[in-house]
Amino acid sequence: MGLEDLYREIILDHYRSPRNRGELPPPAHRVEGFNPLCGDEVILTLELTDGVVTDIAIGGQGCSISQSSASMMTAAIKGKSVDETREFISAFKTMMSIHQQELGDDEHAELEEINPELKLGDLEALKGVVKFPVRIKCATLGWNTLVQALDELDA
């Protein structure tokens, strides 16, 4: 199986079996994100306890890229501190801003510099998306919604 196929499988797996799907009940913080270019919608609910993301859920609907990216995001950050979460968001956005399909050594070094412990894991499956600039908005929708939630919580 080639890398492209593997990435496609990972994305489809998260699309078909989204992780942390649904909405947390109040008092969880709730933010809605919308990508008008594609019609994607993300409803993010988030629980912070002592500076740690103790729970997160994703509702809404949209294309496979938007929903699988949000699913991978929840799996990656649940249980992380707010600081770690913000570093992770920053690393993901760096990856999505590199306009070539394969990361070169320099870009890997750049990501590792942000946080040597950081492993993007499944999220690397989304790096092929940067070839299609219009889809980048799909891939980053959940992440921008999460940033909005953290900002609103002043976390």
Least gap, CB of 67 to Zn ion (angstroms)? 8
Least gap, CB of 30 to Zn ion (angstroms)? 21
Is 52 one of the binding residues for Zn ion (CB under 5 A)?
no
Is 155 one of the binding residues for Zn ion (CB under 5 A)?
no
Residue 38 or 98 with smaller CB distance to Zn ion = 38
Strand partners, 53: 48
What is the rounded CA–CA span in Å between residue 7 and residue 145? 24
Is 15 one of the binding residues for Zn ion (CB under 5 A)?
no
Among 31, 44, 46, 138, binds Zn ion (CB under 5 A): 138
Is 38 one of the binding residues for Zn ion (CB under 5 A)?
yes
Is 124 one of the binding residues for Zn ion (CB under 5 A)?
no
Residue 48 or 71 with smaller CB distance to Zn ion = 71
Among 18, 24, 31, 40, binds Zn ion (CB under 5 A): 40
Is 71 one of the binding residues for Zn ion (CB under 5 A)?
no
